[in-house]
Amino acid sequence: MDGDDGGDSVSITTGTGRELVVARAPIPRADSSCKFPHRPGSGRAGTRCLVKANHFLAELPDKDLHQYDVAITPETSRVSGRAVMGELVRLHRASYLGGRLPAYDGRKSMYTAGPLPFTSKEFHITVLEEDDGSGQERRERTFKVVIRYAARADLRRLEQYIAGRQAEAPQEALQVLDIVLRELPTARYAPYGRSFFSPDFGRRRSLGDGVESWRGFYQTIRPTQMGLSLNIDMSATSFFEPLPVLDFVGQLLNADIHSRSLSDAERVKIKKALRGVKVEVTHRGNIRRKYRISGLTAQTTRELSFPVDQGGTVKSVVQYFQETYGFAIQHINLPCLTVGNQQRPNYLPMEVCKIVEGQRYSKRLNQGQIRALLEETCVHRW
């Protein structure tokens, strides 16, 4: 076979010496106009009925969406970044932002309906540091935020695709709309993965062992033959129950722990379940400091002591709580929770700690918990 590959036809020489000329079919471009085949018709048999679906028609904004690059220094977590941007909007929305309400993706981009009054601007925003679970007072920290114009998000291609005049769905435009639609629920609810959860969405259900289910929703924007559609699905996931730590441990071990010491196996199980969990103390009245659990002491509360000053004065945990807070520890046979610095940990008796609400349980569920969680996501037809 030979021939010129650049023309509208190709010449093929067969084994018998015969030459064939074959017309080359034009290769369609992805951005060229196209026509979809018409639907031949709809079913006519049976009885018509009204079907309720979890799809909601949406309209494209009548303003262009503008993308801006966001640089926050020093670098920070996504949670702190959202706090910084939230404070920036609160302070400067009516002035420097021209009344716009940006949608921030939590990383390095934000979008506005219509342009901002500047192409590049620097801000200095002061917020409280993220709670690290050490129990220390949160300090103020100042961040530099630089917002710079990047591009205009072209939604016309999405309009053309919905109208059937374009073959490929513009994924970039859909991603922008998804970020915009996630802005409000991200601020109001607990986001995990692609879903949003809240205890206000329905009854909580205990899954056992100190774990409960929260209801939530998952949303996605998709083009359909009827137009742009917002699909919302129900979801559920597991959270720690906001229980006193003593109650949580009792459920976890399925045993009464108030009048006996723990075995080594029980101690390991508790440590594994509670490591990284945030608790608040209840023995100081309205002062509810929060701490993140780092471990469990090998000794019981009765046996624990620690230096209280630079002079080497040592006090037992029982004595310290009695003298400092007027609190008499009852369960001295149980170990203490360790919080804060690993080199110089603080000791907290279990009975003065309560698990903070809203912490997702990311460990593996047992079969009973999985079954109960699946039942929560079932949608009954009537």
- Condensed to tens digits (0 to 9), the pLDDT of residues 251-287 reads 999 998 887 889 999 999 999 999 999 999 999 888 8
Domain C-terminal end among 152, 184, 210: 152
Helix, strand, or coil here: 244? strand
Q: Which residues pair with 71 in a beta bridge?
A: 146
Residue count (the chain) = 382
pLDDT at position 9 is: 57
Helix or strand (DSSP H, E) at 308: none
Residue 171 has pLDDT above 60, yes or no: yes
Q: Which residues pair with 221 in a beta bridge?
A: 230
Do 255 and 349 lie in one domain? The reply is yes
**How do residues 318-341 score in pLDDT, each as one tens digit?**
999 999 999 999 999 999 999 987
Domain C-terminal end among 131, 152, 173: 152
Report the CATH number that the domain containing residue 334 is assigned in CATH. Answer: 2.170.260.10
Do 158 and 147 lie in one domain? The reply is no
Residues with Cβ within 8 Å of 275's Cβ and at least 6 positions away in sequence, in order, are: 293, 294, 295
pLDDT at position 259 is: 79
Do 199 and 126 lie in one domain? The reply is no
pLDDT at position 309 is: 80
Query: What is the average per-residue pLDDT within 183-192?
Result: 92
Residue 19 is encoded by which pair of tokens? 């030459």
Q: What is the percent of the chain with per-residue pLDDT over 90, rounded to a whole number?
A: 57
Do 331 and 294 lie in one domain? The reply is yes
Do 196 and 340 lie in one domain? The reply is no
Q: What is the percent of the chain with per-residue pLDDT over 70, rounded to a whole number?
A: 88
Query: What is the average per-residue pLDDT within 309-321?
Result: 88
Do 138 and 187 lie in one domain? The reply is no
Residue 78 has pLDDT above 70, yes or no: yes
**Better pLDDT: 224 or 132:** 224
Query: What is the average per-residue pLDDT within 185-211?
Result: 91
Domain range for 275: 245-355
Do 277 and 345 lie in one domain? The reply is yes
Do 261 and 282 lie in one domain? The reply is yes
Residue 326 lies in a domain: yes
Do 346 and 249 lie in one domain? The reply is yes
Residue 81 lies in a domain: yes
Helix, strand, or coil here: 46? coil
- Comparing C-alpha atoms, which of 231, 65, 232 is closest to residue 159? 65
Do 96 and 171 lie in one domain? The reply is no
**Sign of the torsion angle spanned by Cα atoms 41, 43, 49, 55:** negative
Do 74 and 203 lie in one domain? The reply is no
Quickly state the pLDDT bin for 38 (edges 50, 70, 90).
Answer: confident
Domain C-terminal end among 152, 184, 217: 152
pLDDT at position 43 is: 76
Residue 186 is encoded by which pair of tokens? 């991200």
> What does pTM read for this prediction?
0.78
Residue 84 is encoded by which pair of tokens? 């910084």
State how many domains the chain has: 3
Residue 225 lies in a domain: yes
Do 261 and 338 lie in one domain? The reply is yes
Residue 117 lies in a domain: yes
Q: Which of 123-132, 151-160, 200-209, 272-281 has maximum average pLDDT?
A: 272-281
Residue 186 has pLDDT above 80, yes or no: yes
